[in-house]
């Protein structure tokens, strides 16, 4: 652990731990004092757990934002927080209002008639102490839906209503945290979402639910805006994705290269843990990402503008090469080595130009190409896992590799899914993969890491998962080559040590995930594999 970052202070306050005179003051919390010398080593780790690792500042560009109040190590916990509210996202399918599992509408709450799995779920406080009472008192009925997999706008009022009710039940938290959150009402007023909210949420709550005396129109729209701009996705054990409002974490600004990552522990009342992914120096800004890092700049910026109402001008967005990754670039079909990039990535209308020939094309034409690819990629989400999904992705790969730069973000997304399918999909399980596919999986993982090291560096889930995917084919390919006499014992050891290095780092990253999450479960499998791999390396003849 790094030694303390102590500010020099003229205050002669006693050490917070041993009461001896001290001239040191923690630069993190600005009030605890430390003795110097020997005690420092002992007291610093104790203090580190108590001292707030970030502070909140404000400027005209972003509003509130967070900075590190001392140097933070990679993977260090920045904060933990419980949500003010959780509930369905807008336009979700019909789900139980107690546990959020998908339901078909055949079971409902005995008190209000809205969808729940059964008696246990209707008693869950999130439902029983919130909307259930309102619906019951007002006689607001849930209208049966024809197809339970379709989006159900009736549920759109649930989370805003829960948030509004929290204003009455926990007014301190509303006053000190929620009220300060950005809702972007002025920008949202002209959107179709605002119009839909007016009907499905504002009018519904005020008229059908008879809440007009408790919540005015502006307040309801503000609650909707706070959720739209600030909420995080929460994955439920049932597989449903819902939303949660975490006011401290939501203070962090966006950057397309984040230096933090968070996980949410469903089994611990949806507790969120925010950690750094890389070393963050004192006074450096803490960033999260509001969008998918494996998207090209045009798509990321469009998403941020539409959903969070700002133009991202981060270093990655400003650079036509996306920090040298070429994640936005296309191949030139007029010359061989040419790479096509935007002449101004902050302007969607700017010309895209070839780096080698005279070819130019307008930004909107590139956007149309991206739309076609996005559409193809979205179809992949509806495929059942199986051999066919490998082939469909490989075909898309072939289709786009002549158009896109090899490191383009869309090809990276395809690599991500293929790297996980090779070794798991039907007909492609790890033990049966021929060497050529082991090598393909290795190449995919290495390519993903080459961009992940830049756009999601350090302790990121993307790096952790990719390192885990990489270790197995490296190990199996080495063994296969050794078996056929293509490499000797010495080379085998080198390769297995390489696999061990990947696995070690994967464990280090993934063990920070909740043990019951998919990544946390992989961490524990990886830890066992690491032990076995280590033993198998130890048993090799030493040269």
Which two structure tokens, joined as six digits, stand for 497? 């040590």
> CB of 463: closest distance to ligand SAM in angstroms?
23
> CB of 158: closest distance to ligand SAM in angstroms?
21
What HEC string does 121-133 produce? Answer: HHCCHHHHCCHHH
> CB of 79: closest distance to ligand SAM in angstroms?
14
> CB of 240: closest distance to ligand SAM in angstroms?
23
- Return d(Cα 529, Cα 100) in angstroms, integer: 34
User: Which residue of the chain is nearest ligand SAM when measured via CB?
Assistant: 63
> CB of 348: closest distance to ligand SAM in angstroms?
17
Residues 6+ apart with CB under 8 A from 336: none
Please identify, using beta-carbon distances, which residue of 251 and 273 lies nearer to ligand SAM. Answer: 251
Please identify, using beta-carbon distances, which residue of 260 and 466 lies nearer to ligand SAM. Answer: 260
Please identify, using beta-carbon distances, which residue of 38 and 186 lies nearer to ligand SAM. Answer: 186
Q: First-to-last CA distance in the chain?
A: 36
Question: Between 461-483 and 489-510, two packed helices, what is the crossing angle to 10 degrees?
Answer: 160
Which two structure tokens, joined as six digits, stand for 220? 């309801």
> What are the φ and ψ backbone dihedral angles of 37, each rounded to 5 degrees?
65, -135
> CB of 182: closest distance to ligand SAM in angstroms?
4
Q: How many helices (H) and strands (E) does the chain have?
A: 18, 17
Please identify, using beta-carbon distances, which residue of 64 and 173 lies nearer to ligand SAM. Answer: 64
Please identify, using beta-carbon distances, which residue of 181 and 202 lies nearer to ligand SAM. Answer: 181
Nearest in space to 247 (alpha carbons), one of 79, 422, 360:
79
Please identify, using beta-carbon distances, which residue of 73 and 187 lies nearer to ligand SAM. Answer: 187
Query: How many CB atoms sit inside 10 A of residue 346's CB?
Result: 13
CB of 107 closer than 8 Å to CB of 113: no
Which two structure tokens, joined as six digits, stand for 272? 């969120």
Please identify, using beta-carbon distances, which residue of 152 and 273 lies nearer to ligand SAM. Answer: 273
- Using CA atoms of 86, 89, 93, 97 in order, give the dihedral in degrees to the nearest 10: 20
Residues 153-171 as b or e (16 or more Cβ within 10 Å = b): bbbbbbbbbbbbbbbeeee
Handedness of CA 268, 272, 275, 277 (dihedral sign): positive
Handedness of CA 115, 118, 123, 124 (dihedral sign): negative
Nearest in space to 444 (alpha carbons), one of 477, 467, 476:
467
> CB of 285: closest distance to ligand SAM in angstroms?
9
Please identify, using beta-carbon distances, which residue of 180 and 357 lies nearer to ligand SAM. Answer: 180
Please identify, using beta-carbon distances, which residue of 310 and 502 lies nearer to ligand SAM. Answer: 310
> CB of 480: closest distance to ligand SAM in angstroms?
48
What is the β-pairing status of strands 271-276 and 287-288? Answer: unpaired
CB of 360 closer than 8 Å to CB of 354: yes
> CB of 415: closest distance to ligand SAM in angstroms?
27
Interface ranges with ligand SAM (CB under 6 A): 61-65, 181-182, 184, 229-230, 250-251, 253-254, 308-310, 312
Please identify, using beta-carbon distances, which residue of 227 and 418 lies nearer to ligand SAM. Answer: 227
> CB of 310: closest distance to ligand SAM in angstroms?
4
Which two structure tokens, joined as six digits, stand for 222? 């503000």
> CB of 367: closest distance to ligand SAM in angstroms?
22
Which two structure tokens, joined as six digits, stand for 527? 């830890």
Q: DSSP letters of 183-217? A: --HHHHTTSHHHHHHIIIIIIIIIIIT--TTT--H
Please identify, using beta-carbon distances, which residue of 253 and 529 lies nearer to ligand SAM. Answer: 253
CB of 26 closer than 8 Å to CB of 40: no
């Amino acid at each position: 652990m790094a030694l303390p970052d102590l500010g020099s202070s003229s205050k002669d306050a006693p050490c917070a731990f041993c009461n001896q005179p001290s001239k040191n003051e923690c630069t993190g919390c600005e009030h605890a004092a430390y003795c110097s010398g020997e005690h420092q080593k002992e007291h610093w780790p104790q203090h580190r757990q108590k001292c707030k690792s970030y502070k909140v500042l404000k400027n005209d560009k972003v509003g509130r934002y967070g900075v590190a109040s001392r140097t933070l190590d990679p993977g260090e916990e920045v904060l933990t927080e419980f949500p003010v509210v959780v509930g369905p996202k807008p336009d979700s399918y019909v789900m139980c209002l107690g546990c959020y599992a998908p339901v078909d509408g055949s079971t409902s709450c005995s008190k209000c008639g809205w969808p729940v799995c059964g008696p246990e779920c209707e008693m869950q406080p999130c439902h029983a102490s919130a909307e259930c009472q309102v619906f019951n008192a007002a006689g607001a009925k849930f209208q049966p839906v024809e197809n339970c997999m379709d989006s159900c706008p009736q549920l759109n009022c649930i989370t805003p209503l829960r948030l509004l009710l929290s204003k009455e039940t926990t007014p301190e938290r509303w006053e000190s945290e929620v009220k300060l959150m950005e809702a972007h009402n002025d920008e949202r007023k002209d959107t179709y979402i605002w119009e839909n909210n007016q009907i499905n949420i504002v009018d519904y709550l005020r008229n059908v639910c008879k809440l007009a005396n408790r919540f005015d129109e502006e307040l309801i729209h503000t609650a909707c805006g706070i959720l739209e701009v600030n909420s995080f996705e929460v994955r439920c054990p049932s597989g449903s994705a819902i939303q949660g409002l975490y006011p401290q974490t939501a203070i962090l600004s966006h950057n397309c290269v984040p230096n933090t990552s968070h996980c949410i522990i469903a089994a611990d009342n949806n507790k969120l843990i925010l950690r750094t992914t890389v070393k963050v120096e004192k006074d450096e800004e803490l960033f999260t990402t509001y969008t998918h890092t494996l998207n090209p700049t045009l798509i990321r910026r469009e998403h941020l503008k539409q959903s969070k109402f700002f133009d991202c001008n981060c270093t990655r967005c400003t650079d036509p090469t996306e920090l040298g990754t070429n994640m936005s670039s296309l191949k030139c079909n007029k010359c061989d080595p040419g790479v096509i990039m935007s002449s101004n990535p902050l302007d969607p209308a700017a010309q895209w130009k070839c780096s080698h020939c005279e070819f130019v094309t307008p930004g909107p034409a590139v956007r149309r190409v991206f739309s076609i690819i996005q559409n193809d990629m979205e179809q992949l989400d509806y495929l059942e896992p199986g051999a066919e999904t490998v082939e469909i992705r490989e075909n898309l790969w072939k289709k786009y590799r002549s158009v896109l730069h090899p490191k383009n973000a869309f090809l990276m997304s395809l690599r991500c899914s293929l790297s996980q399918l090779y070794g798991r999909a039907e007909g492609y399980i790890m033990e049966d993969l021929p060497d050529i596919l082991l090598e393909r999986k290795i190449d995919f993982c290495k390519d993903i890491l080459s961009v992940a090291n830049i756009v999601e560096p350090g302790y990121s889930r993307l790096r952790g998962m990719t390192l885990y995917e990489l270790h197995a084919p490296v190990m199996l390919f080495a063994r296969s080559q050794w078996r056929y006499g293509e490499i000797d014992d010495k080379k085998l050891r080198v390769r297995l040590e390489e696999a061990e290095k990947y696995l070690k780092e994967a464990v280090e990253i993934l063990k920070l995930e909740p043990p019951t999450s998919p990544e946390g479960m992989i961490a524990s499998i990886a830890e066992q594999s690491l032990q076995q791999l280590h033993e198998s390396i130890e048993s090799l003849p030493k040269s």
